[in-house]
Structure 1
Amino acid sequence: MITGKTKLLGIFGCPVEHSLSPVMHNSVFQKLRLDYVYLPFLVHPKEICQAVQSIRTLGIKGVNVTVPHKEKIIRYLDSVSEEAKRIGAVNTVLNKNGMLTGFNTDYYGFLESVEKHFSIKRKTAFMLGCGGAAKAMLFALLDSGIKTIYISDVEPAKSKELRKRSGSLSNIFVVDSGNIDVVAAECDMLINATPIGMKKGDGSPFNKKAIRPGCFIFDAVYNRKTLLSKYASDKNASYINGLEMLALQGAKSFEIWTGIKPPVSFMVKIIREELK
């Protein structure tokens, strides 16, 4: 039951109605009997400054941040954590007595989900997509001892900007669209950090010939069985989608807000049930 003492959390995004974060967090609050409620807030790009101010004004304990606000919100915060500063993107905000601090839990969610299945150190990876979540993935890979990372985006300027931001010019290389298949076929790990696969009828971000038998594939898409997952099975490649990453980054945000470690397996279960 919501009372005058109930603490408010939420998510800022545009669009936001598809988000599974409200049902995931509210289910955990109910399970642990915590007096919190988590709501989705549709925040248009031009309204992000006012939305951030509302966190202070309304006494919102914290928010998650999704597209298209992960980069732009930084300028309106009082401080950002070290990993968020390096990445240049925030997906979690904590309000502590009116002081707003930004964090990036995508970094931890990606790293923990991958390391359960694959050893990153001294491997080569190819990442398609260079948006907010991809930035977190890149720094997680670098910090885990990746040998070489190839990156590509439909907007070449994004790839170049991300490479420059990383500061690791010796082991990060931008690949143009015409060479993706050839380069990817030599990599130990393939990462889809694009939305390709989210919609019914979508193709695969990687062509089948780009998948080397035995390689490891991380697909950020989690809302449906993708063509990429079929290609992985056909080529005897290991494959995981972004569902565990979603739960793990959410768990990290939960801990930042409440000081409590939530049951991750329960969060995964809730997401799977919602996707049925």
Structure 2
Amino acid sequence: MKEKTFWADTEFFGLLGTPVRKSLSPAMHNANFRALGMNALYSPYEVDEESLPKVLPSLGALRFKGLNITMPLKQKIIPYLDELDELAELCNAVNTVYWKNGRLCGSNTDGIGFVHGLKEQGRYDPTGKHCLIFGAGGAARGVAFALCASGISTITLWGRASGHERIGKLASDLNAYRSGVCRIQSTEPGDLPKLFGESELVINSTSVGMTPETDATPFDTALLEPRHMVCDLVYVPHDTKMLREAEARGSRTLAGYWMTIWQGVEAFRRWTNREPNVEVMTRTILEHLTRREGTSR
């Protein structure tokens, strides 16, 4: 069947941030568009904080319907938006932008995507559990607030001393949202045995273990036990050293690409008010990860 393209009617979507060249979002979303028969195109754009004020106002006039936002713009874009949903306001970070009735709206689908993957693919209900999160950046904020909304009992934060202020700010914001949910914040390695002993759900939201530093782990995996559910937000490589060693110690695991897939699903829903082809999105991500990692090893 000959493919028809009506360029005047093409709807545009994109990813703003820097760097974006290695993102798998274009492949995932364009495969979904094709599967649904949409005349749409998703492209990555290298945009920094300085160029953002010039780029953003022009996109609506150029038939853009939705955007993903990545570092370093997840907070920098907020002043240019007309409206934020509750989770974006709580996180003070936006990863999804869409136009609604002439207004530019911001959402955060990272945490929603993580929790969906945790329940669906991880088959793990966070309700009533005690969670230990490594890191306090934008991804950690999205995940932490989504876990609060999903009924997590407590959240403990651990990070390097250089991130002390961010850890304190996230803890304060979490406790303002739900009193007492974040009782412990630490930057001391000596605290980790006790923290692991008190936690069931362990999440790495840092970049430790990401390509090319694939031999690193964010903590000593000897602290893990079979009762732990271990999640990595890193998705390149998809089988990080932390996850491999967690599995070897009998822990259950969840790979980072599931958050990538499900946050994309949630973003597509906000952009179009339609349901995506999740099977195609998942297959595309896995195919590209396998191909990319196969060529780099």
* TM class, shorter-length: over 0.9
Q: Deviations over 1:252-271 (max 9, x none)?
A: 11111112111212211100
Q: Does 1:68 align with 2:77?
A: no
Q: Does 1:211 align with 2:224?
A: yes
Q: Match for residue 293 of structure 2? A: none
Q: Deviations over 1:69-110 (max 9, x none)?
A: 111111110111122111211111002354200011112101
Q: Match for residue 184 of structure 1? A: 196
Q: Distance in 2 between matches of 1:107 and 1:98?
A: 26
Q: Match for residue 272 of structure 1? A: 286
Unaligned runs of 5+ in 1: none
Q: Distance in 1 between matches of 2:284 and 2:210?
A: 19
Q: Distance in 2 between matches of 1:128 and 1:136?
A: 13
Q: Secondary structure at the match of 2:94?
A: coil
Q: Does 1:198 align with 2:210?
A: yes
Q: Distance in 2 between matches of 1:57 and 1:260?
A: 22
Identity %: 33
Q: Distance in 2 between matches of 1:142 and 1:227?
A: 28
Unaligned runs of 5+ in 2: 291-297
Shift of 1:249: 0.8
What TM-score do the two structures reach when normalised by structure 2? 0.89
Q: Deviations over 1:30-52 (max 9, x none)?
A: 11110110010101122222222
| C-alpha contact 1:126 1:184 (8 A) present in aligned 2 | yes
| C-alpha contact 1:61 1:96 (8 A) present in aligned 2 | no
- Look up the equivalent residue of 2:236 and give its one-letter code: N
Q: Distance in 1 between matches of 2:167 and 2:124?
A: 25
Q: Secondary structure at the match of 1:261?
A: coil
Q: Match for residue 234 of structure 1? A: 248
Q: Distance in 2 between matches of 1:183 and 1:23?
A: 39
Q: Match for residue 111 of structure 1? A: 115
Q: Match for residue 129 of structure 1? A: 135
Q: Secondary structure at the match of 1:109?
A: helix
Q: Match for residue 258 of structure 1? A: 272
| C-alpha contact 1:163 1:169 (8 A) present in aligned 2 | no
- Look up the equivalent residue of 1:199 and give its one-letter code: T
Q: Distance in 2 between matches of 1:2 and 1:250?
A: 25
Q: Distance in 2 between matches of 1:222 and 1:127?
A: 17
Shift of 1:209: 2.4
Shift of 1:60: 1.5
| C-alpha contact 2:35 2:277 (8 A) present in aligned 1 | no
Q: Secondary structure at the match of 1:213?
A: coil
Q: Deviations over 1:98-156 (max 9, x none)?
A: 42000111121011011222121111110001111111110111111111111123311
Shift of 1:2: 5.4
Q: Secondary structure at the match of 1:12?
A: strand
Q: Match for residue 90 of structure 1? A: 94
Q: Match for residue 174 of structure 1? A: 185
Q: Distance in 2 between matches of 1:99 and 1:144?
A: 29
Q: Deviations over 1:205-254 (max 9, x none)?
A: 12122212221011111221211012211210000111111111101111
1:165 to 141, 155, 173: 173
Shift of 1:58: 2.6
